[in-house]
Amino acid sequence: MTDTRETNYAGVFDTNIGFGKRPCVLVIDFIRAYTTKGAAFFGQGVVDAVEATVDLLAEARRAKVPIIYTKVLYHPSGMDGGLFVKKVPALRSLVAGEPLAEIDDRIPPQPDDLVIVKNYPSCFFGTTLASTLAGLGVDTVILTGCSTSGCVRAAAIDAIQYGYRVIVPRECVGDRHQEPHDANLFDINAKYGDVLPRDDVIAHIRSVAA
């Protein structure tokens, strides 16, 4: 009998890491390119995740939990995208002034939020994110955004490598297709952090406020 992935991983990849004392919410690439029908990167799963994130962000703001957004922007030449834009040429359209490169209107950054521009999958790579989190005294990153199989996964891997606890509210991340979404949530939960129901994460944020 063939093992299921759950039984195969049991006892090796099933430890919860839990929350620390100082969380931060990362909103990874929830840009219109993923939420506009007809756009190259559109995915209904991302739209659903954006909508699920609205209330989580509201609770984070009430609790004064810092929120950091990321977005992708390239020089028109694409020279700052290196081999990544050669592998995924559609990324070349994400330049300054392109409406699809802007953050979805349902979750607009507020004045106290930070927006970081990145060029590669991980929001830690080539950005000020790690030093910003350290300066804030953050020990836990709550990952929301897209895509689960790309930039969210890359952020989860780098976050734990930088020493941050990783929490992923399941409903608040999305992808263009369900299978890579599910597979990567399983893998993130097994190796890099805790994938939890959104309501559990919101409850923790409320406890921080209390």
Per-residue pLDDT of the chain (210 residues; tens, 9 = 90+): 578 877 778 766 778 899 999 999 999 999 999 999 999 999 999 999 999 999 999 999 999 999 999 999 999 999 999 999 999 999 999 999 999 999 999 999 999 999 999 999 999 999 999 999 999 999 999 999 999 999 999 999 999 999 999 999 999 999 999 999 999 999 999 999 999 999 999 999 999 887
User: Could you give the domains of the chain?
Assistant: 19-71+101-209 (3.40.50.850)
| Phi, psi torsion values for 59, nearest 5 degrees | -65, -40
> Burial level of 127, CB count in 10 A (0-12/13-18/19+)?
middle
Distance from C-alpha of 123 to C-alpha of 112, rounded to nearest angstrom: 19
In 10 A of CB 46, how many CB atoms? 26
State what percent of residues in the chain have pLDDT above 90: 91
- Residues with active-site annotation: 151
pTM flag (> 0.85): yes
Cβ atoms of residues 90 and 41 within 8 Å: yes
**Residue 74 per-residue DSSP state:** B
Q: What is the pLDDT of residues 146-199, one digit of tens each?
A: 999 999 999 999 999 999 999 999 999 999 999 999 999 999 999 999 999 999
Farthest-apart Cα atoms in the chain, separation: 56
**Residue 2 per-residue DSSP state:** P
